[in-house]
C-alpha cells in the first residue's frame, strides 16, 4: 500500500474540472523539472530528483559503518545543524521511532539536536549532559560557515578534546559538508575528521535523503535501506507525465488554485504527535521554497486533537484564509483498548472495547466535517503506516510537490535570498570584520528607534 491523495473534502471548493483546466499549466511546471530542466530557475538544484536511485553507494555503506560505530561507543550523539541541516533527520527519528525517542531508546544513543538556535541555555544543558557520558558529534553544514552550528561545534569540539584528547576526539567527530568548499571542510582535512558529502545539486531543505539526514537516522536504528526504497518507489510513481493522475502534480495544482481563491495559509495537520517535527520540516520546505517575490502560501501546522483546544476556534470561525492538509495513517504504531469499567464513574463505558485509534479516527472525521462546513477546504494525504518505507515516500512526495507548486507560483523554489538579511545585520552588530559601515547605520537606527 502506498500513500494516497484524497480530494473528497475539497467538494464545494474545487472540482475536477478546475484541475483539468489547470492541467497545461501544471504540466509546464512539471517539465521545468524534467525536459526543460536546464532553463528553469534553480535548475542547478535539481539533484534531489533522482537521489533515491542515483546516490553514492560507497558513502551509503560508510554511513552505516559510522552509525554502527556511534551506537557501539556513544551513549549520546550530538547533531549540530540548522534548517535543512537538521530538520529532516529529527523529523524522521520522531516519525519512525518516537517524539520521546531519548527516553524510550534503549539500544541506540540518545540524540540531541543543537546549533539550531543561539540559546546559551539550550547549549549549556546539552554540554553538561555530555560531560559525564560517552558521546560523538555529527556536525552538518553544507556551506560550512553558518554561525549557529559553527558556535555550537566550537563548544562540543573543545569538550571532546578535553575528554578524549585531540586524536580521540577526531575519532568521534563526523562532518557532513560540501565536497570541497567551506571552513568545515578545511578544518576536517586538517584534523582528519571523517567527512560525508552534501551533493552539489541538493539544497539544504532537499537534503534529508543524503548523509545530512541518513547518518543521524541510521544512528537512531532506523532502516535507511527501507527509507531509500520508499523514496525510490515514489520517484518512479511521481514521474508520471499525466498530471491529472500524478498525485504530486494534483496536490501542487490544488494548492495553487486554492491560493488564487484567497486561501493563503496552509495548515499541515496530523493526529499523531510523532508527526510534530515532520510539520516543522514541511514548513521549512514549503516556506523557504515558496515565500518570495511577495508571493507564497504561508505554511502553518497543528497536531490534532491537541491543537483543536488552542487553534481550533480560529480554524473553525476566524478569517477564512486557510486550507488544511491532513496527513493520516491507516494504522497507528501502537494501539490501546478502552476496557469496560464496572463502576463507569467516568461515563466512558460507551467506548469499552474500542481501540484508541478508533477514537482518534472519529475525532478526525468529526473535525474534517466541521472544518469544511466552516469554509476550510481539506486535502487528505493517506499513509499506510509510520515506518521508514512510508516516510521515504512521503518525503519524496512533498519535495516533488513543493518544486512543481513553486514553479506554478512563478518563483524559484530552490533559492532563499531573504535568509541573508538577518545574517548581514547580525554580523554587523556582532562586529564581524567587513561589516563596519552597516554596523554604524544599524546602531544609529537602533538608537533612534529605541
Ligand atoms: O534549505 C536551506 O538551504 C537552509 O535552510 C540551510 O539548510 C540552512 O540555512 C543551513 O545551512 P548550512 O547547511 O549551509 O549550514
Q: Which residue reads 544513543 in cell numbers?
A: 109
Band (pLDDT 50/70/90 cuts) for residue 15 is: very high
How far does residue 140's CA lie from ligand 1's centre (Å)?
9
Q: Which of 82, 282, 291 has most ligand 1 atoms within 8 Å of CB, for mutation?
A: 82
Instruction: Please say if 423 is a catalytic residue.
Output: yes
Per annotation, catalytic residue among 94, 148, 288, 324: 288
Pair type for strands 378-383 and 4-6 = antiparallel
Ligand 1 atom nearest 203 alpha carbon = 3
pLDDT given at position 382? 98
Band (pLDDT 50/70/90 cuts) for residue 186 is: very high
38 has pLDDT over 90: no
For the residues 135-152, what does the mean pLDDT come to?
Answer: 95
Helical pair 247-260 and 23-31, crossing angle rounded to 10 deg: 120
Interval 285-315: pLDDT, tens = 999 999 999 999 999 999 999 999 999 999 9
pLDDT given at position 448? 87
pLDDT given at position 123? 97
How far does residue 85's CA lie from ligand 1's centre (Å)?
6
Nearest 10 degrees: CA dihedral of 257, 261, 267, 269? Answer: -60
CA distance 137 to 111: 10
Band (pLDDT 50/70/90 cuts) for residue 437 is: very high
Instruction: Please say if 142 is a catalytic residue.
Output: no
pLDDT given at position 39? 83
Interval 84-120: pLDDT, tens = 999 999 999 999 999 999 999 999 999 999 999 999 9
pLDDT given at position 35? 80
Q: 160, exposed or middle or buried, with CB in 10 Å at 0-12, 13-18, 19+? A: buried
Per annotation, catalytic residue among 423, 436, 441, 443: 423
Q: Which residue reads 469499567 in cell numbers?
A: 341
Band (pLDDT 50/70/90 cuts) for residue 157 is: very high
For a pLDDT cut of 70, what percent of the chain falls above it? 100
Protein residues with CB under 6 Å of any ligand 1 atom:
82-85, 141-143, 146, 149, 203-205, 288, 416
Nearest 10 degrees: CA dihedral of 298, 299, 304, 308? Answer: -20
How far does residue 60's CA lie from ligand 1's centre (Å)?
22
C-alpha cell at 370: 466541521
* CB-based contact 54:206 (threshold 8 Å): no
Q: Which of 270, 252, 299 is nearest to 390 (CA)?
A: 270
Ligand 1 atom nearest 148 alpha carbon = 15
Q: 349, exposed or middle or buried, with CB in 10 Å at 0-12, 13-18, 19+? A: middle
As beta bridge partners, residue 65 has none
Interval 342-353: pLDDT, tens = 999 999 999 999
> pLDDT averaged over the chain?
97
How far does residue 403's CA lie from ligand 1's centre (Å)?
17
* CB-based contact 325:263 (threshold 8 Å): no
For the residues 374-380, what does the mean pLDDT come to?
Answer: 98
37 has pLDDT over 80: no
How far does residue 154's CA lie from ligand 1's centre (Å)?
18
Longest distance between any two alpha carbons in the chain, whole Å: 76
Per annotation, catalytic residue among 309, 343, 420, 437: 309
Task: Count Cβ atoms below 10 Å from residue 387 Cβ, excluding itself.
Answer: 19
C-alpha cell at 214: 541518513
Rounded to two decimals, the pTM is 0.97
Which residue's CA is minimally distant from atom 12 of ligand 1? 141
How far does residue 188's CA lie from ligand 1's centre (Å)?
19
Q: Which of 142, 177, 412 has most ligand 1 atoms within 8 Å of CB, for mutation?
A: 142
Instruction: Please say if 131 is a catalytic residue.
Output: no
Which residue's CA is minimally distant from atom 15 of ligand 1? 141
Band (pLDDT 50/70/90 cuts) for residue 450 is: low
Amino acid at each position: 500500500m502506498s500513500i494516497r491523495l484524497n480530494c473528497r473534502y475539497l467538494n464545494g471548493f474545487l472540482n475536477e474540472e478546475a484541475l483539468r483546466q489547470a492541467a497545461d499549466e501544471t504540466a509546464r511546471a512539471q517539465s521545468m523539472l524534467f525536459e526543460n530542466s536546464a532553463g528553469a530557475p534553480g535548475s542547478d538544484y535539481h539533484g534531489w530528483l533522482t537521489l533515491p536511485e542515483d546516490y553514492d553507494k560507497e558513502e551509503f555503506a560508510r554511513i552505516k559503518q559510522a552509525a554502527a560505530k556511534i551506537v557501539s561507543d556513544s551513549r549520546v550523539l550530538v547533531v549540530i545543524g540548522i534548517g535543512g541541516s537538521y530538520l529532516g533527520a529529527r523529523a524522521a527519528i520522531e516519525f519512525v521511532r518516537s517524539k520521546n525517542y531519548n527516553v524510550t531508546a534503549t539500544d541506540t544513543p540518545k540524540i540531541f539536536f543543537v546549533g539550531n538556535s543561539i540559546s546559551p541555555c539550550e547549549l549549556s544543558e546539552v554540554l553538561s549532559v555530555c560531560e559525564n557520558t560517552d558521546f560523538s558529534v555529527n556536525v552538518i553544514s553544507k556551506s560550512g560557515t553558518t554561525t549557529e552550528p559553527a558556535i555550537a561545534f566550537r563548544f562540543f569540539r573543545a569538550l571532546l578534546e578535553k575528554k578524549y584528547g585531540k586524536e580521540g576526539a577526531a575519532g568521534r567527530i563526523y562532518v557532513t559538508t560540501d565536497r570541497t568548499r567551506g571552513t568545515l571542510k578545511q578544518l576536517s582535512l586538517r584534523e582528519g575528521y571523517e567527512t560525508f558529502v552534501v551533493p552539489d545539486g541538493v539544497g539544504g531543505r532537499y537534503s534529508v535523503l543524503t548523509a545530512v539526514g541518513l547518518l543521524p537516522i541510521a544512528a537512531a536504528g532506523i532502516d535507511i535501506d527501507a527509507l531509500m526504497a520508499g523514496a525510490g518507489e515514489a520517484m518512479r510513481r511521481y514521474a508520471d507525465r499525466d498530471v491529472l493522475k500524478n498525485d504530486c502534480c494534483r496536490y501542487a495544482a490544488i494548492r495553487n488554485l486554492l491560493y488564487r481563491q484567497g486561501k493563503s495559509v496552509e495548515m499541515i495537520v496530523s493526529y499523531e504527535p510523532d508527526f510534530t517535527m515532520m510539520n516543522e520540516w514541511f514548513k521549512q520546505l514549503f516556506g523557504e521554497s515558496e515565500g518570495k517575490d511577495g508571493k507564497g502560501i504561508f505554511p502553518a501546522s497543528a497536531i490534532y486533537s491537541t491543537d483543536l483546544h488552542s487553534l481550533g476556534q480560529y480554524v473553525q470561525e476566524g478569517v477564512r484564509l486557510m486550507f488544511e492538509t491532513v496527513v493520516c495513517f491507516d494504522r497507528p504504531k501502537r494501539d490501546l483498548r478502552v476496557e469496560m469499567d464496572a463502576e463507569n464513574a467516568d461515563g466512558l463505558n460507551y467506548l469499552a472495547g474500542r481501540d484508541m485509534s478508533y477514537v482518534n479516527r472519529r475525532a478526525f472525521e468529526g473535525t474534517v466535517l466541521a472544518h469544511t462546513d466552516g469554509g476550510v477546504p481539506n486535502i487528505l494525504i493517506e499513509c499506510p503506516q509510520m515506518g521508514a518505507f512510508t516516510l521515504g515516500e512521503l518525503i519524496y512526495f512533498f519535495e516533488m510537490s513543493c518544486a512543481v507548486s513553486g514553479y506554478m507560483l512563478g518563483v524559484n523554489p530552490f533559492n532563499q535570498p531573504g535568509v541573508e538579511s538577518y545574517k548581514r545585520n547580525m554580523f554587523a552588530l556582532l562586529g564581524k570584520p567587513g561589516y563596519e559601515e552597516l554596523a554604524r547605520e544599524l546602531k544609529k537606527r537602533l538608537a533612534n528607534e529605541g
